[in-house]
Amino acid sequence: MCSFNYYRLIFFSALLVSFLGPQRYASADPTDGFTPVPLQNGNFVLEKPYNVPLTDRYSHVDGVNKLWVYNHDKPFKPGSDTRPRTEIRIKGCDYSSGVWQFEGYAYVPRGTSGVTIMQIHGAAEGATTLQLRIYNGVMRYYKYDLVATDLYDKWFRLNVIHDVGKGKLTVFIDGEQKYEGHDQGPGDLYFKCGVYAAPEKSSNYMESRWRDIKIYKK
C-alpha cells in the first residue's frame, strides 16, 4: 500500500510539473521593473549623408522608420572621417549612470550586410560602448561575438539593457536573452539605431526599418 501511494505521488507530481512548469519558469519580460521615459518627436534626431536631402535616405510611413544608405555615401558632416550612416539618435536621454534600456522592433532586408543597426554611443575609450552589427543575416557584437542568427526579412523585438554601475550590457531578441558582456567604461552615453556602415565588408546598399522605439530606466 505504501509502495502504491509512493508511485502515485510521483505520478501526480510529474503531472503537476508538466502543467505548471512553463508558467513558473517562464522568463520575465526585459522591461519588468523599468519605468518608461516619455519621448516626443524632438527626441528623434536624424543623421544622414550631408550632401543629400533627408527624403533620399529616410521615410516614415504608418509608424515605420525606414533608413537606408550606400557604401559610397558621404559622412554625416563635411570633414568627418566616419563611415556613411542614416541613423536615429535618441536625444534628451543621454546618461552616465543608472540602468537604461532601449527597445525597438527592427527589420533588416536580405542583402544588407556589414552594418551597425543599433549602438550605444560614448565610452571611456573609443567612440562607442556597444555596436550590434548585421553580417549576412547574423547579428554580432561589433564583428566578434555571435548574438543571434536568421534575422533577415522579419520583424524582431530588440531590447538592450545597460547597467552603467556594473559595467554590464544585456541584449534580448524577442524577449530572449542572447548576449551579456562588459561595456567600454563610463561616458556621455546615448542610443542610436538605423544603418551605419561597418569599417569593412559592407554591402553596397544597407537598410533597416524601425518602429515602436522606446526608452526605459531604473
What average pLDDT does the segment 57-74 reach?
98
Task: Provide the 3-class DSSP secondary structure of residue 48.
Answer: coil
Task: Provide the 3-class DSSP secondary structure of residue 136.
Answer: coil
The alpha carbon of 74 is separated from its chain's Cα centroid by a whole number of angstroms, namely: 25
Q: In the chain, what percentage of residues exceed pLDDT 70?
A: 88
Q: Which of 19-33, 54-68, 196-210 has the lowest mean pLDDT?
A: 19-33
pLDDT at 16: 40
Fold type of domain 45-217 = Jelly Rolls (2.60.120)
What average pLDDT does the segment 108-113 reach?
98
The predicted-structure confidence for 160-201, as pLDDT tens digits, reads as follows: 999 999 999 999 999 999 999 999 999 999 999 999 999 999
The predicted-structure confidence for 27-36, as pLDDT tens digits, reads as follows: 699 999 999 9
Is 90 exceeded by the pLDDT of residue 145? yes
Residue identified by cell 551597425 is 116
pLDDT at 205: 98
What average pLDDT does the segment 73-98 reach?
98
**Whether 114 contacts 69, CB under 8 Å:** no
CA atoms within 13 A on the CB side of 13: 6
Phi, psi of 5 (to 5 degrees): -65, -35
Residue type, 111: G
Is 50 exceeded by the pLDDT of residue 113? yes
pLDDT at 125: 87
- Report how far residue 218's alpha carbon sits from residue 37's, in angstroms, rounded to the nearest whole number: 10
Residue type, 53: P
pLDDT at 27: 67
**Whether 1 contacts 181, CB under 8 Å:** no
